[in-house]
Structure formats: structure tokens, C-alpha cells
Amino acid sequence: MTVETVRYAAIMLVAGIGIPVLAALNAQLGARIGSPAAAATVLFAVAFASTVAVLAATSGAAALAAAPAQPKHLFLAGLLVAFYVLSITWVAPRFGLGNAITCVLLGQLAAAAVIDQFGLMGAIVREVTPMRAAGLCLMAAGVFLTQRG
């Protein structure tokens, strides 16, 4: 395992930790202000300000000039993140954070396996070998078991 691999894994581990924290915080904000949509709007305003600051500190706004020329289907990612934030903000207080995140995780595992298997959307092809399929099944079973009891 290379240092780069460990670094990438660590970054994504922290990002993964952030998902349920984001869900819990935004669900609480939505409950306190009485609107999951308003909470999502606040979240995106903070996220927008944060990304603008990172953009200014790194590549600069010139990188945005290339955006309008890109295939329009790539902008679906923005709708997907909005759907995730709105749905987790609304569902978590009603269904339980653990249950909501469990379903999100199962969806991520399944989608990632399909995307990797076929190299969809420019992803690196990683065949779903029997060993990888067994690992995915074990992860899915683990996710399921964490919600029982």
C-alpha cells in the first residue's frame, strides 16, 4: 500500500464520518427552524461560501469559465446532492439517523459496484470479482446487522 493510497483512504474516511454528522446537524437545524428545505438552503449557502473560498485560494475563478461548455448531464450531480441533503434532513428525524444512513450506505455500495464494473461516467473499471462481491455482501450484511437489536 502506497502513501498516496493511505492518504486518499484517510481523506475519504473523514468524508464518510462527515456524512452522518452532516445529516444529524442539518436534521436538527431543520427541526429547530421548522423547515427541512430552509435548513438545506442554509447548508448550501455555507457550502457555497466555503467552496468559493477554496476556489479563490487554489485555482481561481478562471476555472469556472470552462463550466458552461461542459455536457449538461454532468450538472445532474448538483441535483443529486440537493436531493440527498433534502431527503436526509427530512427523513432522519422521522426514520432515525442510523436507519437513514444505513439505506444511504447500501445504495452507495450497490451504485459504486455497478459504476466500477462498467466504468460508467469515466470511472476506472474495477471488475466485481467473486472476492469483491463477497466483500460487498459482507459489508451489506454488516450494515444490516448494525440496525438490528
pLDDT more than 90, % of the chain:
75
23-27, long-range: CB < 8 A, 24+ apart: 23/88, 23/89, 23/92, 23/97, 23/100, 23/101, 24/92, 24/97, 26/85, 26/88, 26/89, 27/88, 27/89, 27/92, 27/93, 27/97
| 149: confidence class by pLDDT, cuts 50, 70, 90 | low
> Is residue 111 a contact partner of residue 118, using CB atoms and an 8 Å limit?
no
Which position has the higher pLDDT, 1 or 31?
31
Torsion of CA 134, 140, 141, 146, to 10 degrees: 150
> Average pLDDT, stretch 105-130?
93
Between 28-32, 57-61, 73-77, 118-122, the lowest mean confidence (pLDDT) is in 57-61
Between 24-33, 57-66, 92-101, 124-133, the lowest mean confidence (pLDDT) is in 57-66
> Is residue 76 a contact partner of residue 3, using CB atoms and an 8 Å limit?
no
Say how far apart CA 10 and CA 137 lie, in whole Å. Answer: 23
> Average pLDDT, stretch 120-137?
93
Q: Is the pLDDT of residue 99 over 70?
A: yes
Tell me the whole-structure pTM to 2 decimals. Answer: 0.84
